[in-house]
Structure 1
Amino acid sequence: MSKQWEQCKKPGLRWWQWIKRRKLYNEIRREILDVVIHRINNLEEKLLSPEDLLE
């Protein structure tokens, strides 16, 4: 009984850790993407600003 319970419990824990790890990874990736997109938008604004075109 106890051995079967341990076998049932372990994959469940691995599954839960995997979900948590994946969730954390997705959150980190989203934050990095936000920063990258923000920087690209800032670069485009600087490149396309009228002051630069007049010079």
Structure 2
Amino acid sequence: MKFLKESDGSKTLHIHIDFRKGGEFVNDAGKKQKAYDTDDKTWLHLNFFQHE
């Protein structure tokens, strides 16, 4: 997680979640599930603490 300063002086919060393709995660019920979506995505959410 990091804040990057943009050319207009504003800051954007960047969060990166990384895992290897085919990796497995354990859900809340204790069952293993495979990671299926490995494409990079950009999500625009409401401003977070006055930052984009």
Tell me the TM-score range normalised by the shorter chain: under 0.3
Q: Which structure is higher in strand share?
A: 2
With normalisation by structure 2, the TM-score equals: 0.18
Question: Which protein has the larger Cα radius of gyration, Structure 1 or Structure 2?
Answer: 1
With normalisation by structure 1, the TM-score equals: 0.18
